[in-house]
Amino acid sequence: MNINEETILKSYSLGIFPMSESFDDPNIYWINPKKRGVIPINDFKISKNLRKEIKKKKFVITINKDFNGVIKNCAKKTKNRPSTWINKEIIKLYSNLHKIGHAHSIEAWYKNKLVGGLYGVSLGSAFFGESMFSIMSNSSKICLIFLIANLKIKKFTLLDTQFVNPHLTKLGAVEISRKKYLKMLGNSLKKNVNFNKKISQSSIYDIIQSMTQTS
């Protein structure tokens, strides 16, 4: 099967997504899990401690400034991530999706160095989170919060995390059945939203403030 950008977008619309076994594995496999991870956009809350970190403005957060840098960092093997499912073909395909406006990145910069980020795919009013990386503490978490603030402002209805792990659970991810996920996905695909619409930093910080836990 010839996998191209159109094939990948079609797969997302059907509730499946591509992965490889490792960076060195040239093959791509289609994944259709029985349980799916999602982060409820409208009900998302951040801790006061993380809110304090954001207020420090230690990191400069950008959108779609260095997609290539983000996906390549996500594909790197690290001490905490000895293997990766992102191979060279996936990097190429998603870089092309970025060029045509369907794949996006959020970056965290410290002293002009890329120190954290995440990337994913938008389709309809759904955002499919793919991977994240962090070189400095809290950098990827803050990128996720900025992503959710953007999705909330732009009226996205679904944030898919694919799977749930302890790290994502702490960040608000929940596990739902495939049946429930497909229903949410179908509704999200009925509405077209422009992820690339420009919004002010002040609007983002206002939304982040409203997402802070009160207790």
- CATH, residue 93: 3.40.630.70
Most confident of 81-90, 161-170, 192-201: 192-201
pLDDT of residue 213 exceeding 70: no
**Is the residue at 71 inside a domain?**
yes
Tell me, what's the pLDDT at 1?
Answer: 56
**What is the rounded average pLDDT of the residues 60-75?**
97
**What is the rounded average pLDDT of the residues 177-184?**
97
pLDDT tens across 126-169, in order? 999 999 999 999 999 999 999 999 999 999 999 999 998 887 88
Which residues span the domain enclosing 160? 5-210
pLDDT band for position 7 (cuts 50, 70, 90): very high
Burial of 196 (0-12, 13-18, 19+ CB in 10 A): exposed
**Is the residue at 170 inside a domain?**
yes
50 to 40, 109, 111, 169: CA distances (angstroms): 18, 17, 20, 15
| pTM for the full predicted model | 0.93
Tell me, what's the pLDDT at 33?
Answer: 93
If one counts the domains in the chain, the total is 1
pLDDT tens across 186-195, in order? 999 999 999 9
Tell me, what's the pLDDT at 171?
Answer: 82
CB atoms within 10 A of CB 35: 12
**Is the residue at 215 inside a domain?**
no
